[in-house]
Amino acid sequence: MISGIDLAASPRRPTGIAIGEGERIVYIGEVYGDDEIVYILKSYSVTLCGIDAPLTKDENREADKLLRKYRAMSLKVPGIKKLAERGLKLKEKLEKIGIEVVEVFPTATAKILGIYRKNKIDMLPEIEKFLDVPEGKATEHIIDALLAYYTAYLYSLGECEMVGGEIAVPLSKR
């Protein structure tokens, strides 16, 4: 199983999760704490997880500069730095239980796939053209989690490039 996570900088804010196999999503939801995230991923036997959060402490990394055209933000922004700290801690927890973790950037994925909409909920019909998504309440966090999932899925197929050696983005439209 593969997972996509739209990680919030604070556990007091919702984190979106999508879990699936191939083009079929089996779970979507919002959670809060890291232990809850780990529990859900373990219970679905996830082996690969795409996380929408910086997984580095490097404030001047090349990947952020290369993805600036997709509105990537530097770790010099306090909120992004806080998100990176949480992302690194979660990555460590997931790797300890055998889950491979890759950093993803859903906005870049949506733009590369040609489905980007300013209102994220408006992307759901486009996402449903390539993913079988269960019925449920679509939130912005779930939309980003679905895009994070799809990026991780494409990564598993070798259909991503690693921008700056750090962030997986689709090679092109599928």
Query: Residue written as tokens 């997972």?
Result: 3
Residue 106 identity (one-letter amino acid): P
**May I ask the CATH class of domain 2-170?**
alpha beta
- Low-confidence winner among 59-68, 70-79, 135-144 (lowest mean pLDDT): 70-79
- pTM recorded for the entire structure: 0.92
Average pLDDT over residues 13-25: 96
CB-based contact 108:67 (threshold 8 Å): yes
**Residues facing residue 100 across a β-bridge:** 48
Question: Smallest Cα–Cα separation from 89: which of 9, 147, 6?
Answer: 9
The predicted-structure confidence for 82-140, as pLDDT tens digits, reads as follows 899 999 999 999 999 999 999 999 999 999 999 999 999 999 999 999 999 988 778 99
Buried b (16+ CB within 10 A) or exposed e, 117-140: eeebeebbeebeeebebeeeebbe
Domains of the chain by residue range? 2-170
- Low-confidence winner among 11-20, 67-76, 99-108, 152-161 (lowest mean pLDDT): 67-76
> Would strands 160-163 and 100-104 be described as parallel, antiparallel, or unpaired?
unpaired
33 has pLDDT over 90: yes
**Residues facing residue 136 across a β-bridge:** none
Q: What is the token pair recorded at 43?
A: 């219970």
CB-based contact 66:163 (threshold 8 Å): yes
Question: Smallest Cα–Cα separation from 103: which of 54, 146, 164, 157?
Answer: 54
The secondary structure element, H or E, covering residue 2 is: strand 2-6
Average pLDDT over residues 4-16: 95
Neighbours of 12 (CB within 10 A): 8
CA distance 140 to 5: 12
To the nearest whole percent, how much of the chain has pLDDT over 70?
A: 92
